């Protein structure tokens, strides 16, 4: 899967954007590259990259998160030196909140991000999530995020799944949806994500991932 040295990951609630962010970070580190993850998901207190401090620490991945991450005082206190992080080299992944409100936190970094040459902003879609079951709905949410943060997306990632119940048929049935969403958005389909054993042979741009983010009852 192709990504920029600075990669912003967005998507609606339940799209799997945090799981994608974690997988990218782990794969980058496994390839021997320096990686930093910035958790800007100030909206959802349940599934966020800040929950993976130990996983990241074991792999040498740096993590920056809001001061009140992982508490019920999820106030957007963002003292994150993004310019300094970028100047230190390596790859940077920013996991952003799940809608236009969550993207507002990203907006304060818009001038720096828009001026960074090797950047991507990937929009993660999941056909099986409420409010983004149709391509037009998914694109509408994407546009709302762009309007809120002032940064344009550069690619679509199909992460359509049903959690632990995902099969190759689950993913295969989402391929037309993903292609239509990318067409409506005027963006390339950068990846089709699926866990090992659930990737259809005809999936475009396959990216096999692990389910690092799980429901509470699966722990």
Residue 118 forms part of a structural domain = yes
CB 22 within 8 A of CB 47: no
State the number of CA atoms in the 13 A half-sphere of 155 facing the CB.
20
| Confidence check: pLDDT of 74 > 50 | no
CATH code for the domain of 185: 3.40.50.300
Average confidence (pLDDT) over 96-113 = 85
pLDDT tens, 122-178?
999 999 998 899 999 999 999 999 999 999 999 999 999 998 899 999 999 999 999
Question: How many Å apart are CA 146 and CA 151, to the nearest integer?
Answer: 5
Helix, strand counts (H, E) of the chain = 8, 8
Q: pLDDT category, 41, cuts 50, 70, 90?
A: confident
Say what the pLDDT of residue 4 is.
Answer: 93
Residue for token pair 């019920």: 72
Residue 155 forms part of a structural domain = yes
| Top-confidence residue, 41 or 190 | 190
User: How many other C-beta atoms can be found within 10 angstroms of the C-beta atom of residue 133?
Assistant: 13
| Confidence check: pLDDT of 70 > 90 | no
Cα of 98 vs its chain's centroid, Å: 9
Residue 219 forms part of a structural domain = no
Q: pLDDT category, 68, cuts 50, 70, 90?
A: low
Q: pLDDT category, 80, cuts 50, 70, 90?
A: confident
Residue 218 forms part of a structural domain = no
Number of domains in the chain: 1
Residue 191 forms part of a structural domain = yes
**Domain residue limits at 61:** 6-211
**pTM for the model:** 0.91
Q: Which of 43-57, 103-117, 176-190 has the lowest mean pLDDT?
A: 43-57
């Amino acid at each position: 899967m192709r990504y920029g040295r600075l990669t912003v990951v967005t998507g609606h609630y339940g799209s799997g954007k945090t799981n994608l962010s974690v997988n990218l970070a782990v794969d980058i580190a496994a390839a021997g590259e320096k990686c930093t993850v910035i958790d800007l998901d100030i909206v959802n207190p349940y599934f966020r990259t800040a929950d993976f401090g130990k996983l990241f620490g074991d792999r040498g991945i740096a993590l920056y998160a809001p001061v009140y991450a992982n508490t019920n005082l999820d106030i957007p206190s963002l003292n994150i030196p993004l310019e300094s992080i970028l100047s230190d080299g390596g790859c940077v992944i920013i996991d952003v909140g799940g809608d236009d409100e969550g993207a507002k936190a990203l907006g304060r970094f818009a001038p720096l991000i828009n001026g960074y040459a090797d950047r991507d902003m990937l929009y993660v879609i999941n056909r099986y999530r409420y409010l983004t079951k149709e391509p037009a709905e998914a694109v509408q949410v994407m546009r709302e995020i762009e309007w809120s943060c002032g940064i344009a997306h550069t690619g679509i990632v199909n992460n359509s799944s049903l959690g632990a119940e995902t099969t190759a048929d689950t993913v295969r049935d989402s391929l037309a949806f993903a292609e239509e969403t990318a067409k409506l958005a005027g963006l390339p389909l950068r990846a089709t994500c699926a866990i090992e054993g659930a990737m259809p042979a005809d999936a475009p741009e396959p990216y096999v991932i692990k389910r690092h983010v799980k429901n509470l009852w699966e722990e």
